[in-house]
Chain A
Amino acid sequence: MKIRRKLLLSYLLLVALFIAAGATITYNTTKMADLQTNVKQQVEINDNAYAYAQGLDQKQFGTIMYTMEDAQKGEEIMVSSAETIVKAQDYLKNALANNPALLVKFNEVVDLDWNTINPAITQISAIYSSTNMTGDEQVAGIWAQLTILMNAVSQADAKLADVRAATMANVQAATVASQSYATFSTLLAVGFIAATTVASVGMAAAMGNRIIRPLKKLADIAHKVSLGDLNQRHYLKENIDIKTGDEIDELVDAFRRMINAFRLTETMASEALASEAAVEVEVEQ
């Protein structure tokens, strides 16, 4: 494999590591964003359940005020509470659509509101404005209806408290899950940095060794050959016979060929000198 291809492969390995870590962290971040959206919705459900409970309490307070102190002020409070309740109810009906257990519980609250609390208020209003009843009968009737109303409001409050507790539990679970995703992302980032560092240093060292070591040996041999040591051919064969399969191999082959040429030229020159000397001896004789 050529050096360029080896370097490219190392680079691609690092890129693959980056992509894998990036994809995992992105996935975690998306999950955390989903969890945050869920937490936000749960908090809103909690707020609206609280508003609904407040509305019911206002309605009860307004009814008591209507019957005992100030009918007009009581009516105003009841109207205000109805607005709060309707708004919270609309939101909760939609938001709890994908949570059947909580929706059932909330529907029980709505049933109490519509089938017990509101009829009791209607009854109280009717008794209060009745002209056919004596004062004692009115008080007894109103008190009986108030008792029904207060019991129903208490039951509704308890059920809404259950809804709120469930949403808080969901918020806590989502928070824990979000924290675990965050912890995993942090660990992954740290692990990725460590893995990338180790891989980079390892690959750089390996690639460096594979390229630099034969080159250093070749440089050493070239130095000796340049000083006339043609026996480096043997050294080259024994020590640089490294099959890296890249340009280093080609360089080693070329170098070996060059030393062979030097050596052969030197031998041929020596033989020529020897034959010239022999001719001279013959001439002298």
Chain B
Amino acid sequence: MTVEQDCLAVLAEDLGPAAKAFLYRVCRQQLRKEPAMLHKSDIERLAKSCYLGVKQALGVPVAEKVQKSLMQLQ
């Protein structure tokens, strides 16, 4: 599995069908790269960006959970 697929699987746990759109958005806007180009070294930044995005929409507990799950992919 690629890093993108791993990230999508983790995000889908809490974000369901919105996971893909959210990942694409975060990657393009915050990391300035396509999700397919994600590397393991990007995961820490991605987790932080996801935390901020999810926190705004779904609150701190879900954001923390998502960040923690993403960090475990490292």
Contact = CB atoms under 8 A, between A and B. Distances in A.
Tell me the dominant secondary structure on chain B's binding face.
Answer: helix
Given A268-B21, A268-B25, A261 B57 contact: no
A264 B13 contact: no
A257 B16 CA distance: 5
B56 interface: yes
Interface in A221-272: 233-234, 254, 257-258, 260-268
Q: Which interface class (under 10, 10 to 19, 20 to 34, 35 or more) fits A? A: 10 to 19
Which residue of A254, A261, A264, A265 has the most chain B CB atoms within 10 A of its CB atom? A264
B25 A260 contact: no
B14 A267 contact: no
A260 B21 contact: no
Interface residues of B, number: 18
Contacts of A264: 15, 18, 22, 53-54, 57-58
A268 B58 CA distance: 12
A34 to B, nearest CB: 68
Interface string B27-60: 0000000000000000000000000011011110
B63 to A, nearest CB: 11
Contacts of B14: 257, 260
B54 to A, nearest CB: 7
A268 B53 CA distance: 9
B3 interface: no
A265 B57 CA distance: 9
A268 B19 CA distance: 12
A3 B53 CA distance: 37
A233 B16 contact: no
Given A257-B13, A267-B56, 17 more contacts: A257-B12, A257-B15, A258-B16, A258-B17, A260-B15, A261-B16, A261-B17, A264-B15, A264-B18, A264-B22, A264-B53, A264-B57, A265-B21, A267-B57, A268-B21, A268-B22, A268-B25
Interface of A: 233-234, 254, 257-258, 260-268
